[in-house]
Chain A
Amino acid sequence: MTVKVEASAGKLPHNTLMIYGIIVALVGIYLTYLNVVTGVAVFSFFGGIGAIAALWWGSDTIKHLCSYGLGTGVPSAGMIAFGAGTIAMIAGTKFGIFSPIVTVILAAIIGAVIGYVANNIINMNIPVMVMSLVELSVVGALTMLGFAAMCTGTFMFNGLVIGGMTLSMEPSAAAAGGVQTFMVTVIPEFAGSLIGGAALAVIFFIGAMALQHPFNACLGPNESQDRTLMLAIEVGFLSMLIVAVMSFAFIDMMSAIVGLIVALLGWIYSYKTYIALSKRDAFAWLDSKPIIEVGGNQ
């Protein structure tokens, strides 16, 4: 026996959230392109804001999907979203400036295939399954792309796999893949990059946890949409905090500190608001008081 899953009537319709989510996410990720234009990495944190918008939208999608009684619980929806989203995101980064849009398209197609499989081959027959899985895959891919852009300063494949350059004295014929400038060859080094060092796995999993946590944590008869969405934003800023700490390894100190401060301020604000909303919704807010019996077996 588990807690009854009920859907609450939210004040914001789901489609509004989806449109806002996609637009803010794409705009945020594209704003990191200013790094390329201006030559500094200070604009990286916009990627994090874009990722948070995607998570905000995705938590409502999970609420929609899980209200139909999946039988396995909420966390698995987050896992499948990010499993599919990872594949779409890494493949999507190979398309230069069009990467975010291609990522969305690829993720949507993968989500549609997986949703079709779940509904028609595994016979789950849930009305919103295909659309929800399309949305969740897009959310997963955009969140990962946003955080990857925040961490490294770019959303293009080459930036995510090349961690740094080393110098070599060998002539360029022997040292493959380098650019020879005078007597020294500059070779790209892959092990210290976001994908090469598997730091992308961190983004993958904190995103998966962050996506399923808001609805999972606010599950219950008195679930209210604004509280769930505020928790989504809070958990998004918390993930942004981790990504900001990791970004010290990839971008210069100044830009990383900017990202860290934005994440910290955003997290403090959203956490305080979340606690205030919980206080508003709770039956009672007691400190060191005993159990108030209501009489067992209602």
Chain B
Amino acid sequence: MEEIVLGIGITALAGALATVAGAAEDTESDIGSQGDPNSQVQLAPQMGYIHRIFNKAISGEPPAYGAWCVIGAGVAWALMQINFNPALAIILGSAIAVFVQGIYCTSGYLGRTASLAKFQQPVYIDIIKSLTSVTMAHAFVAIFCTVAMCYLMASALHHPFALPLLGLVWGIALGAAGSATGNPFYGKERQYQNQKFGAGVPISASGNIVRYAEAGQRSSLDNGWFTTKFAGPASGICFGLIVFLELWRTVLFEKLMSGWGAIIMGIVLILIFTFIDRWIEVWGRKTYGPYVTEEASS
């Protein structure tokens, strides 16, 4: 019984860490403009729209966060092998991972922008100077929380995987969850703020991203504020739910029904989420209605 109570406590803590990690991850990838929405930032100069956005060209978020978290977890593991205190090891591991991430950010920006010289997109050094530290800070929160969560799984919940392997697995999952949830919000609502609300961006408008902000020229720094309005917390809830429910269904129900309890619980959860999704989809159709009336479209 005590073991289950401890397990639930660790699960709740891991879920909370995961929620913070998800929120920080999405905020970081929006401040730095990474992944699929970044293709618009790269396209804009080709269409003649010069901008001052941080064009961070580092693969997508899942492999990137897989890399940062595996570095954090690996260095933390190595330091723990030479008898560093676990908390200190995780902090140092995350710090080194963040240093690597910062270097990748700057090299990505410089590389892509220098290669767009033909379209007269200048390299703005002040963007690097002001934004790199901000992205690094958010990334530190995300990486630290993820590595700490992995350490809890390895040591307190006795998962068979070693710490670096857990870091890799959950880093990729973190990037996938945050990227899926946060990218449309940033891509449509922020980059194409000048398009009509409530509809997708028409193909003819590609590349015409918002470059002049409420006052002055848009800097990616403000994307942090914007992301925390919805996409950040939503990504946090997404990743937090994934981690929490994955651990919860195993810790509580693994021993029931000779092992099948966790699986039944997992299927029940999938069905619950399917119902909620269907409800959201129907609500959207009913509340917003069609863009054109049904007879006009057929």
Tell me whether B163 and A220 are in contact (CB under 8 A): no
A contact residues around B39 at 8 Å (CB): 1-3
Across the interface, B48 reaches (CB within 8 A) one of A78, A238, A298, namely: A298
B177 CB, nearest partner CB in chain A, Å: 18
Tell me whether A282 and B123 are in contact (CB under 8 A): yes
Interface residues of B in 14-46 (CB under 8 A from A): 39, 42-43, 46
> Which of B107-115, B133-141, B236-244 forms contacts with chain A?
B107-115
Against B, the Cβ 8 Å flags (1 = close, 0 = not) of A212-243 are 11101111111100011001001100100110
Q: Does A46 contact B (CB under 8 A)?
A: no
A197-B125 CB under 8 A given contacts A75-B63, A217-B112 = no
A223 CB, nearest partner CB in chain B, Å: 5
> Which of B1-9, B51-59, B286-294 forms contacts with chain A?
B51-59
**Beta-carbon nearest neighbor of B66 in chain A:** A205
Q: Does A169 contact B (CB under 8 A)?
A: no
Q: How far is the CA of A247 from the CA of B67 in the complex (A)?
A: 18
Tell me whether A75 and B43 are in contact (CB under 8 A): no
Q: Does B276 contact A (CB under 8 A)?
A: no
Tell me whether B103 and A209 are in contact (CB under 8 A): no
> Which of B71-79, B182-190, B192-200 forms contacts with chain A?
B71-79
**SS class of chain B's interface: helix, strand, loop or mixed?**
helix
Q: How far is the CA of A199 from the CA of B163 in the complex (A)?
A: 8
Q: How far is the CA of A202 from the CA of B72 in the complex (A)?
A: 9
B-side residues, CB < 8 A to A, are: 39, 42-43, 46-52, 57-60, 63-64, 66-67, 70-71, 73-75, 77-79, 81-82, 96, 100, 103-104, 107-108, 110-126, 161-165, 167-168, 206-208, 211-212, 217
Give me the 10 closest cross-chain CB pairs, A-B, nearest first.
A220-B115, A202-B74, A217-B111, A284-B122, A198-B162, A75-B59, A283-B117, A298-B48, A249-B78, A198-B165
27 pairs from A and B in contact (CB 8 Å cutoff): A2-B39, A75-B63, A191-B162, A198-B161, A198-B165, A201-B74, A202-B75, A208-B63, A209-B58, A217-B110, A219-B111, A220-B114, A221-B115, A222-B114, A223-B115, A227-B114, A248-B78, A249-B81, A250-B78, A271-B107, A274-B107, A281-B117, A283-B120, A290-B217, A292-B122, A294-B48, A296-B47
